[in-house]
Structure 1
Amino acid sequence: MKRWHRVSIGSMVIAVGLVCAGALVVSRSHVPPEAIASSVTRTPELMERAWHLPVAATFQRRVDWQSNGSRCGPAAVANAYRSLGEAATTEGKVLAGTWSCWTGVCMMGLTLDELAEVAQSRTSRKVTILRDLGETQFLEHLRRSNDPGRRYIVNFDRAPIFGAGSGHHSPIGGYFEAEDLVFVLDVNFDFQPWLVERKRLFDAVNTFDGDKKRGLLVIE
């Protein structure tokens, strides 16, 4: 019993340490509100039109915010599945049965590959990673993001758009080709949904997370 007691205490100490480390990682992602407001488009007329895009409309003007700064990936998947009428509609349901984020914090956040594994475990739909895309390929997929039968989740670095921050996942609500603007349904409450020029989002996606490029996750 004493040995098990020592192991249990040791495990708890490690878990607390991981959570604290995760909190430190989250704190480094802070972007001032004024930087957010000046970096993206949120004019009332465009936002109203954006919510009427074919895919954005299935979200019913609702985004369930990530529970902490490290769980954007599970939150993005949960929101995408909810819009498709899938059963996994919360972070908890998305993560159930996986070892991902078992401490409550996704250490350093989930990579695109890790998020794909989590997403595939909760659905019979096809989940595909799209990585190393050129600008032309990226544009083609943005056009397809208006297809109600597909959901795209974008993995990008906040810094090229907001001047600060780190890696993030959020669903794409659609694309305005005439204005060349992408509707990103940001799952972080501090940011909330926004529109951004395609080239700026491409530059934010065309970055490295470790030794691999960021990219898109498509559920179809």
Structure 2
Amino acid sequence: MKMAMAGLYKRVLPSPPAVDFASSDGKQLFIEAIQNGTMEGFYKLISYFQTQSEPAYCGLASLSMVLNALAIDPGRKWKGPWRWFDESMLDCCEPLEKVKEKGISFGKLVCLAHCAGAKVQAFRTNQSSLDDFRKFVVRCSTSDDCHIISSYHRATFKQTGTGHFSPIGGYHAGRDMALILDVARFKYPPHWVPLRLLWEAMESVDEATRQCRGFLLISRPHRDPGLLYTLSCKHESWVKVAKYLMDDVPNLVKTDDVKDVHKVLSVVFSSLPSHFGEFIKWIAEVRRREDGGQNLSLEENGRLSLKVL
């Protein structure tokens, strides 16, 4: 006879207020939402749905899931030759060890989304309204070009735990319910919740920051191609370069009796760390050598065209 191991195997989803996605009622909500056209964002998200790899990685898992769903190229390798967003790569705004221990704040997740190359609109509940939130949910549920990550407190839904991040996968207009694709899949399955109750869960104050929670509207950026080079904090050397710029440069400027711009530039560029060259990552020719010239992005093709002109 197999003995049960110590630990926890899932939690029973409190219902109500939530409705299990896989239940009869949950399936009916799904079908009706599809028929009403408010599940368009679901398909891309479900294609990249993942489980957070650490108990405190809900924000990182939610963000990497959304970034992959939006087909944003991280510009750096994940494993082997593959470029792919993974929780382990979202470290430019907060050390992973710190996130693993304490989780991540709303503001730092916004920073990470920007750092990863996404277009981000962040709204705390004291800066928005339920009606505005509903409009954004409808917008992202009727298209696949934007997604919403909600920051909320689980206790509002009678769930165990405290603050949590998860993407919103769809909306049922008739019953005013949102589908939460909970990235803690080892704990709770995807579930429908009343939108008004989700708003209340986001209105709670994060004890660590003393600020209201809220939601992130994330989409692909629309940028014109650069004429020269683009520096990206998504490259592996960003952390070291940031340390140089924030810690080393101020000390160098102080010790070298800098009095004018020329002296500042001389000090900065003569003291560049050896790995600084690696930081200049977004050069189309570099990508072309790496990929054989077959998979240039629209941005890179635009940059090449401008260079030829």
Q: TM-score, normalised by structure 2?
A: 0.55
| Aligned partner letter, 2:134 | L
When the two chains are superposed, the root-mean-square deviation of aligned CA atoms in Å is 2.5
Query: Is structure 2 residue 28 aligned with structure 1 residue 33?
Result: no
**Equivalence for 1:55:** 41
Residue 198, structure 1, aligned to residue 192, structure 2: no
d(CA) in 1 for partners of 2:180, 2:71: 20
* Structure 1 alignment gaps of length 5 or more: 1-26
Question: 1:141 and 2:119 equivalent?
Answer: no
Displacement of 1:215 in angstroms is 0.2
1:164 is aligned to 2:147: no
Question: Once the 2 structures are TM-superposed, how far is the Cα of residue 135 of structure 1 from its aligned partner?
Answer: 1.9
| Counterpart residue number, 1:6 | none
Does the residue aligned with 1:86 lie in a helix, a strand or coil? Answer: coil
1:107 matched to 2:94: no
Residues 181-220 of structure 1 correspond to what in structure 2 (within 5 A)?
A: 181-189=177-185, 190-210=187-207, 211-220=210-219
2:161 paired with 1:178: no
**1:46 — aligned with what?**
29
Higher relative contact order (CA 8 A, sep 6+): 1
Question: For residue 74 of structure 1, what is the amino acid of its counterpart?
Answer: L
Q: Percent identity?
A: 23
Once residues 148 and 83 of structure 1 are traced to their aligned partners in structure 2, the CA distance between those partners, rounded to angstroms, is 9
The secondary structure found in structure 2 opposite 1:34 is: coil
Corresponding residue for residue 80 of structure 1: 66
Q: 1:32 to 1:162 in 2, by over 3 A?
A: farther
> In 2, distance between residues paired with 1:32 and 1:198?
24
Amino acid aligned to 2:130:
E
Deviates more, 1:185-194 or 1:102-111: 102-111
Match in the other structure for 1:70: 56
Q: Is the 8 A contact 1:145 1:175 kept in 2?
A: no
Over alpha carbons, which structure has the higher Rg? 2
Pairs aligned (count): 189
Q: Per-residue deviation at 1:206?
A: 0.8
Following superposition, the deviation at residue 149 of structure 1 comes to 1.4
- The yes-or-no answer on 1:127 pairing with 2:120 is yes
CA–CA separation in structure 1 for the residues paired with 2:86 and 2:19: 28
Contact 2:140 2:148 (C-alpha < 8 Å) held by counterparts: yes
Q: What does residue 243 of structure 2 align with? A: none
Instruction: Kindly indicate whether residue 146 of structure 2 is the aligned counterpart of residue 150 of structure 1.
Output: yes
Change (3 A) 1:163 1:151: closer
Q: How many Å separate the matches in 1 of 2:165 and 2:159?
A: 17
> Offset at 1:46?
2.7
Q: How does 1:85-100 map to 2 (within 5 A)?
A: 85-88=71-74, 89-95=85-91, 98=92, 100=94
Distance in 2 (alpha carbons) for counterparts of 1:36 and 1:179: 18
Runs of 5+ unmatched residues, structure 2: 1-6, 21-25, 75-84, 220-309
Mapped to 2, the partners of 1:37 and 1:178 lie a distance apart of 19
Q: Secondary structure at the match of 1:145?
A: helix
Between the aligned partners of 1:206 and 1:173, the Cα distance in structure 2 is 20
Describe the SS at the equivalent of 1:106.
Answer: helix
Q: State the AA in 2 paired with 1:78.
A: S
Distance in 2 of aligned mates of 1:90 and 1:154? 19
Structure 2: distance between partners of 1:203 and 1:31? 28
3-state SS of the aligned residue for 2:112?
A: helix
- Letter paired with 1:217: L
Give the TM-score of the pair, scaled to structure 1. 0.76
